[in-house]
Amino acid sequence: MKADTGLETSRKVQIDYWQSVSGFLTNNMVTIMFVALSMAGLYISGMNSTLYINDIISRVSRNSFLVLSLIIPVIAGMGLNFSIVLGAMAAQAAVIFVTHWGVAGFPGILLCVALATPMAMALGYLTGKLFNKTKGQEMISGLIMGFFFAGIYWFIFLQLVGGIIPMDNEVLVLSSGVGIRTTVDLTGGLKYGLDHLYRLPLTTVMIIAGCLGIAYQVYRFVKAAGDSFRNIRFIFGFACMVAVIVWALMIRASGSMVSNIRVPVATWLAIAGLCLFITFFLKTKLGHDMRTVGQDRHVAAVAGIPVDRIRIIAIMMSMVLASWGHIIFLQNMGAFSTYGSHESIGIYAVAAILIGGASVTRATIGQALLGVFLFHTLFIVAPSAGRQLFGDAQVGEYFRVFVAFGVIGVTLAMHAWKRRLQSKLPAVAKAEKE
């Protein structure tokens, strides 16, 4: 009898252990798959890691701001805002004019922001109005809105500029005198206006980040003294930070190319600032109202929250942030195609945030940043991995697109699957939430 009970409990423990492992796997399967895939890709491609780190740093600093601009509409229950394309158009318009006036560097960037903001707000207002009339279909409306305004954008910059809107600039305007040229070159102007404001070597940034991290861990530890679980976390966090610092020092000592990589600190600060702002914003009255509206429009309306107005504000904020994000994107790219650069902004930003684990109804800063990192890692690694695998340049390219879209599809499938699995494992899911 006794032996039986013993067996029973040990089996139970095993089950619990297994459940927690499988719970962890289900909860993070997307991330796990991505990391595995990226590692496999890196291995196969035999890619130079300096190149990878360099590229991922510039891609992350280029795109994070844009992807973060998607969060607020999701919270307000409006889904993924495909209409950020309009914000990008506002940014491009601002950049074109600032380039025309010849304001360069950081002042130029500030001027762009000053110009783009009112335009983005106006566009955001219009979009918000439209979305209020198409509740429940914001995403498809946003996509079509993008197409629609592309027509207007063409009209303005191809037919009006140089004609009705005077612009006398040989470099920007077509030789016929009407219409902006297809490529706008920012070299010597806005290029790196923000990125090069303040840069530090990657290793230095790592050391600083490590020190700050340690300070934070110590602060947390002191604040919550006594809890044994905290102890483990503290040690873990502390170890991570020390590892970062040691690693940075090792890189420095090795004289590897990685130590030459420099980080655009100003851009990163802007991104960090946005993250802080979003976090703070959600705690404000307006942010709380947005969450309420996002949770249940009807209840919000009954509670006296002006739902339509809140939704418009959400879209306007997203639009303004997107226009700033696109300015950051453009100043890093250094040149853009006048009639095409804005097109893909929506789809790729949305893809990135989805991969980070966000859904149409839930998105967090962490998901956005993780998404940018994973999405772009895949895009960096996949082309050469494909080439190495097939030994044929174009098959590699096709393979890359197949993997990229396929992975996004699988990611979505896995998120949905995860949701199902979690509902089947209520105990674990609950434990995870806490």
Give the nearer residue to other proteins in terms of CB position, either 5 or 187.
187
CB of 9 to other proteins, least distance (A): 21
Decide whether 27 or 69 has the Cβ nearer to other proteins.
Answer: 27
SS3 388: helix
Sorted by sequence, the CB contacts under 8 Å of residue 309 that are 6+ apart come out as: none
Nearest to 237 by CA among 218, 260, 224: 218
> What region, left, alpha or beta, does residue 238 occupy, with left being phi > 0 and alpha being psi -120 to 50 degrees?
alpha
- Smallest CA-to-CA distance from 137 within 85, 86, 77 is with 77
CB of 125 closer than 8 Å to CB of 316: yes
Q: For residue 214, count other CB atoms closer than 10 A to its CB.
A: 17
Kindly state the smallest distance separating residue 10's Cβ from other proteins, in Å: 23
CB contact at 8 A, 68 and 325? yes
Q: Which is nearer to other proteins, 52 or 324 (CB)?
A: 52
- In the DSSP assignment, the letter for residue 197 is G
- Beta pairing partners, 262: 201
Q: Which is nearer to other proteins, 6 or 188 (CB)?
A: 188
Write down the least CB distance from residue 361 to other proteins, Å: 10
Of 104, 74, 89, 58, the residue nearest 337 (C-alpha): 89
Least separation in angstroms between residue 257's CB and other proteins is 7
Closest approach, Cβ 38 to other proteins, in A, equals 6
Q: What are phi and psi of 183, to 5 degrees?
A: -115, 135
Minimum Å gap between C-beta 405 and other proteins is: 4
Strand, helix or coil for residue 279: helix
> Which CB atom, from 6 or from 299, has the smaller least distance to other proteins?
299
Cβ-based nearer residue to other proteins, 195 or 265: 195
Comparing CB distances to other proteins, the nearer of 4 and 170 is: 170
* C-alpha pair distances (Å), 371 with each of 138, 241, 353, 358: 22, 22, 5, 9
Q: Given the complex with other proteins, which of 55 and 76 has the nearer CB atom?
A: 55
Residue 309 Cβ vs other proteins, minimum distance, rounded to whole Å: 11
Q: Are 166 and 100 in contact (CB under 8 A)?
A: no
Report in angstroms how near the CB of residue 170 gets to other proteins at its nearest: 8
Cβ atoms of residues 149 and 137 within 8 Å = no
